[in-house]
Amino acid sequence: MDASLHGILSSDASQCVRFCILKLDQVAGHRHHGTWYGIRAATSAALILAAVHKMQRLAEEDEAFRLVQSVTLPETWKGAYAIFRGIDGLRTVISLWPNLTQQFIGLTLFATFGTYFFQQAGLADRFTIKCITSSIHITTLLIVVLVADKIGRRRISCYATTLSWTSCVVIGILGLIPRTTATSNIFVLFVYVGMISNGAAGWGFIAEISSLRLRPYTAGFGAPCTCVAGVVMNVLTPYMVNANKWNWGFKTGWFYAGVGLPFLIGTWFLLPDTSGRTAAEVDELFERKIKPWRFSKTKATTT
């Protein structure tokens, strides 16, 4: 309902009120002409008063609706960019950091193109190795679900990221020495280590770090960021390991070690431990600007 119609209703309501008063005066004036006139006039006045009350109630409801709309619509638009400002901006970065880090420490190399990588590396049982690494990955994720609250999400993510980055470094070193059976075995071993480490507790941070009021926006921004990084790596990785293209072979590990190092450092300095914390406690710790690595040792005043 627009403002002009609201004004018309208000004006009509005022006129109806004055008309009702006039009718009530008529009731009092015609009281001596007989009961019938008095009842008729009183009935008319009651009907008009009921109509006036209904019009006034509709006008008040419309005014309340427009007031709520004027407040909520700007807040909706503010939420879309509030995830980039101040403390909420930091929480957005932390929320997407673990999943984004996985893309830069070998997830595409070990998981998506694992079989192809093993083939280019000259391994005979590449499909079997891929099945084993995938099984290890799934088993690790199930174990993380069970022990995350006891061990702590920060500890799991930091150590897992470090192990995965170390695997990339070791594989890169293997690319600098002559290929032997021993180097192939070491390669397979650290591929296993890399698969154990990737995917640990990543999505839990999107759910727990973002504030409740901005969680839909944060999740909606964080997931596509990970996908964009994944698309880039899915395009580049086949060129790296293909013998007819860049032919990096094991040296591909150096690429992931290089681009993954800033993310490894950021993991240790950015990720807090929110295990056992309520949403109110997490909000308080961020508002107090507690260092992420001190979250687990800091006592919150709220519950």
How many structural domains comprise the chain?
2
- The CA distances from residue 202 to 192, 227, 255, 272, 299, in Å, are 19, 14, 22, 12, 25
Query: pLDDT: is 296 or 61 the higher one?
Result: 296
Query: How far separated are the first and last CA of the chain, in Å rounded?
Result: 43
**Is 224 in contact with 95 (CB distance < 8 Å)?**
no
Highest mean pLDDT among 45-49, 57-61, 97-101, 184-188: 97-101
DSSP alpha helix (H) spans, 104-201: 107, 114-120, 126-151, 153-174, 181-197
pLDDT of residue 42 exceeding 60, the answer is: no
**Mean pLDDT, rounded, for 40-52:** 60
| 66-118 pLDDT per residue, tens | 665 555 555 555 667 888 888 888 999 999 898 889 889 888 887 777 777 77
Whether 264 and 219 map to the same domain: the answer is yes
Lowest mean pLDDT among 52-66, 119-133, 151-165, 187-201: 52-66
Of 142, 155, 140, nearest to 193 by C-alpha is 140
Whether 59 and 103 map to the same domain: the answer is no
Query: pLDDT: is 176 or 113 the higher one?
Result: 176
Whether 189 and 236 map to the same domain: the answer is yes
pLDDT at 32: 47
Average pLDDT value over all residues in the chain: 77
Whether 137 and 211 map to the same domain: the answer is yes
Which of 78, 104, 131 is at the close of a domain? 78
Residue 303 lies in a domain: no
Residue 302 lies in a domain: no
Phi then psi for 28, rounded to 5 degrees?
-65, -35
CA quadruple 19, 21, 24, 29: dihedral positive or negative? negative
Whether 15 and 123 map to the same domain: the answer is no
Whether 92 and 153 map to the same domain: the answer is yes
Query: pLDDT: is 222 or 165 the higher one?
Result: 165
Whether 173 and 87 map to the same domain: the answer is yes
Can you give the residue range of the structural domain that contains 10? 3-78
Lowest mean pLDDT among 53-62, 72-81, 199-208: 72-81
Whether 162 and 269 map to the same domain: the answer is yes
pLDDT at 107: 82
